[in-house]
Amino acid sequence: MGGAKESPRQKMINLMYLVFISMLALNMSKEVLSAFGMISEQVTENNISLQERIITFETSIESNYQQEGKIWKEKKIAKDQVHEIATRFLTYLSDLQQTPPQKEVKGLKDPINDYEVMDKPDYFDNKFFIGSQGVLKPEGQEFLDKIKAFKTGFIAVVDSLNVGKSDENYVNLINDVTEIFDTETEVVNRSGAKTSWIEYNYFGFPEVATNTKLTVMKANVLGFQAELLSAMIGGQYKINATLANFDAYVVSDKAAYFPGSKFSGKIVLGKKSENLQPKSITINNSEIDPVESLNSEGEIVLDFTVGSVGTRDITGAITFIEGDDEPITIPVMSNYEVISRPNDASVQVMGRNTLFRNFDNLVKISVPGVPANLVTASGPGVVNKGDGLYTIKPQKGQELELKITASLPDESIFSDSETFQIRRAPVPSILFNGKEGGAMSRSSMISGSMSAIYDPAYGLESTVKVRSFTVKIGPKSFECTGNALSAKAKAALKKAPKGFDVSFKKINYAGITAGQKQSGPSITIN
């Protein structure tokens, strides 16, 4: 949010998005369909955890309101309002996700887990749209209205808070909700044409994919609700802070450690201050000198040798004397990961072990326990796209060696390599105006264009440029240069009566090799 560190919820949503990009294909394997189902189940489990957090936050606000009254009244009202808004929307989404009747999904055996037959878009296409042009039904408009109602209602609750328009956390939250649930802005599809948000995201997708998207939408709703409640609680505690309200948390200098290496980190109190002087510090049953360990920012520096592989706890307590009062003890509870040293790097080419010649092949590279920014890959035609993603464009030869290096947490260097076979590129799908056939209006055909698109499952990054093609309008054929109809072809289209068949042949596209020229879609003028 707003340049801040991403929350675990947002990281999870981003991961889901990458999965959608890599997995959505016209002809989906049973394994991919099952993978969608498993993703949906995992997000559902995460949603349960979010609901538990929300209950904890709501209970905390309610309890503080009962004890302190006036100063928590505004937040209690906001808590109740956002609960009603979120619950109403979540109930609608759950009803929308109910498995369609048996007659609408042929072959369905298990209405919950039989993902492999949920490969057709019919159910949601028929529910939201009229025909094949993406025209909305009342149910489709209702879906958009429900999303807008949640967005506007949520923002109204944030604006109702006294600090809602000035506190950075609230401003960033409003911006994120506005962006995530923006259904009004048109989207540019793969053919370069603008289309509505709902058509781009929900028309023509397999039922299992749409169900997963709706589950992710639930995760967004719950995540934003939890973030708002957390911000309200944290903000009020900050206003009323004393040493008794402070929390102690451990900040590790590294994401993970190897066995026998040195742990390095700090214990930070809720508010940094050089005037905070602890009376005593105990970490993992060992006493720490409160003078030597405290830096100028009020942070308690930790430095010890880590243990064996696994999740290791950091527990203890910090004791302060506030004025003439009794000692105040702040508990310390955290953990860190100890991981095995990597033996090899993970290289994924969208499920393949080959690279396509003269094309940008999208590759995911990672080394267990090492952040993506500390991993590098090199080889012919390799380009770093960031976040562990690379493109490889092989030119010559039958094999390509990819070399991987990584800077490990103990500052040593890890090296590995992967060899790929180089193959001729597959045949792309040929589309006219983004369609593989069917009916099309005369005006759309005249202004339309030809495109060649590779299945995302191949991991090829770019759309292929069409150089030329032949179009047959009734009994006559016309040669066209580039991806658009020639002037003669357009003139013939204007004269052709309704019901005429238009077909495309001899498609010549970039990167083509001998024998790869292919036919395109067959379209009827409506």
Which residues does residue 316 pair with via DSSP β-bridges, in sequence order? 283, 332
How many distinct structural domains can be found in the chain? 4
Is the same domain home to 434 and 493? yes
Please report, in angstroms and rounded to a whole number, the separation of the first and last CA atoms in the chain.
48
Q: What integer pLDDT is reported at residue 90 of this predicted model?
A: 92
Q: Residue 3: which pLDDT band, with cuts at 50, 70 and 90? A: very low
Q: What is the mean pLDDT of residues 382-389?
A: 88
Highest-pLDDT range among 31-35, 118-122, 210-214, 504-508: 504-508
Is the same domain home to 387 and 363? yes
Measured in residues, the chain has a length of 526
Which residues does residue 449 pair with via DSSP β-bridges, in sequence order? 484
Give, in degrees to the nearest 5, the angle at Cα 71 between 67 and 73.
80
In the predicted model, is pLDDT for residue 80 greater than 80? yes
Domain C-terminal end among 190, 219, 239: 239
The CATH code of the domain that includes 367 is 2.60.40.10
Residue 1 lies in a domain: no
Is the same domain home to 316 and 444? no
Is the same domain home to 510 and 372? no
The CATH code of the domain that includes 280 is 2.60.40
* Residue ranges making up the domain that contains 464: 429-525
Is the same domain home to 397 and 450? no
Is the same domain home to 114 and 98? yes
> In this prediction, what percent of the chain has a pLDDT beyond 90?
13
Q: What is the pLDDT of residues 167-179, one digit of tens each?
A: 777 888 888 999 9
Q: What integer pLDDT is reported at residue 142 of this predicted model?
A: 92
Is the same domain home to 414 and 449? no
Is the same domain home to 53 and 29? yes
Is the same domain home to 275 and 130? no
| pTM of structure | 0.42
Domain C-terminal end among 321, 338, 355: 338
Pick from 500, 523, 439: nearest CA to 132: 439
The mean pLDDT value of the chain amounts to 76
181, amino acid identity: F
Highest-pLDDT range among 225-239, 242-256, 265-279, 357-371: 357-371
Q: Residue 112: which pLDDT band, with cuts at 50, 70 and 90? A: very low
Is the same domain home to 88 and 185? yes
Residue 2 lies in a domain: no
- Give the three-state DSSP class for 386: strand
Q: What integer pLDDT is reported at residue 245 of this predicted model?
A: 47
Is the same domain home to 519 and 375? no
Residue 3 lies in a domain: no
Residue 404 lies in a domain: yes
Q: Residue 260: which pLDDT band, with cuts at 50, 70 and 90? A: low
DSSP string, 310-360: EEEEEEEEEEEE-TTS-EEEEEEEEEEEE-PPPSS-EEEBTTBSEEETTS-
Domain C-terminal end among 338, 369, 404: 338
CA 469 – CA 463 distance, rounded (Å): 17
381, amino acid identity: G
Is the same domain home to 146 and 30? yes
Q: What is the mean pLDDT of residues 401-428?
A: 82
Q: What is the mean pLDDT of residues 33-53?
A: 72
